[in-house]
């Protein structure tokens, strides 16, 4: 049982732990994982076959174990997760007061912001920018971030309140769970495609995002034994 009547620093730490457990972990993943599953379901069997082959090969190479090293070798799986986060970021709105006078640049102009003024951002305006991601900016492209050219686009993925190529620190407001979220999403795909070759689903919407109902699954016909 957590005692919140302790000294202030400990009380704040307990509040932060509770916030991370309830809002970040439950709330964030409740939006992220159905959205990821919906995108993969819509992409169809062609993507499923590629994911299953990549995932099972990496796990087999790791002796049948799902390791962090094996996860890093799954380039397509990583791309699918990033693409889902790009297309449908779990937290779409950001806002805050400017701490200093600053200039905000767009493709077409520069905007002056005074210290203390409120800034508000709707993230999909950036993550679906056709000038960056081309004519398929509003479509799910599973292998968008595969290869050297694909990885160059990662700096334009802002789902974590910062560039995907950067890491959270004391000096920024990037989501502290950024890397954890990406790893959990990759593991979700790994566990799915170690067990099934393909699946179909009906995709709808609910209050927090996507609603996915499986309509058929095909059990894995090959692959390594996993631990």
Per-residue pLDDT of the chain (227 residues; tens, 9 = 90+): 444 444 577 788 887 777 776 766 776 788 889 999 999 999 999 999 999 999 999 999 999 999 999 999 999 999 999 999 999 888 888 888 998 999 988 888 999 999 999 988 888 888 999 999 999 999 999 999 999 999 999 999 999 888 999 988 888 888 888 888 899 999 999 999 999 999 999 999 877 778 899 999 999 987 654 44
Distance between CA 201 and CA 193 in Å, rounded? 15
Alpha helices in the chain (DSSP H): 8-19, 28-43, 45-61, 68-72, 75-87, 124-127, 130-133, 147-151, 178-195
Which pLDDT score, from 0 to 100, does residue 7 have?
52
Give the pLDDT of residue 2.
45
Q: How far apart are CA 34 and CA 94, in angstroms?
A: 22
Domains of the chain: 24-90+125-219 (1.10.630.10)
CB 74 within 8 A of CB 187: no
Handedness of CA 38, 40, 43, 45 (dihedral sign): negative
Contacting residues for 31 by C-beta, under 8 A, at least 6 apart = 90, 208, 209
Residue 1: predicted pLDDT: 42
How far apart, in whole angstroms, are the C-alpha atoms of residue 112 and residue 144? 34
């Amino acid at each position: 049982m957590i005692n919140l009547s302790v000294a202030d620093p400990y009380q704040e730490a307990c509040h932060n732990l509770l916030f991370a457990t309830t809002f970040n972990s439950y709330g964030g993943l409740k939006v992220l994982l159905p959205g990821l599953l919906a995108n993969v379901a819509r992409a169809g069997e062609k993507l499923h076959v590629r994911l299953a082959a990549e995932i099972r090969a990496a796990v087999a190479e790791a002796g049948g174990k799902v390791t962090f090293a094996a996860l890093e070798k799954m380039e397509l799986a990583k791309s699918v997760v990033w693409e889902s986060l790009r297309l449908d970021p779990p937290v779409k709105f950001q806002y805050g007061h400017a701490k200093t006078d600053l200039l905000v640049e767009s493709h077409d102009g520069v905007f002056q912001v005074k210290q203390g003024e409120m800034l508000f951002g709707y993230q999909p305006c950036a993550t679906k920018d056709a000038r960056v991601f081309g004519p398929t900016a509003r479509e799910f492209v599973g292998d968008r971030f595969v290869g050297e050219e694909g990885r160059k686009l990662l700096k334009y993925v802002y789902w974590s309140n910062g560039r995907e190529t950067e890491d959270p620190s004391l000096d920024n407001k990037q989501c502290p769970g950024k890397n954890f979220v990406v790893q959990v999403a990759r593991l979700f795909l790994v566990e799915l495609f170690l067990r099934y070759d393909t699946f179909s689903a009906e995709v709808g919407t609910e209050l927090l995002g996507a609603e996915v109902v499986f309509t058929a699954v095909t059990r894995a016909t090959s692959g390594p034994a996993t631990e």
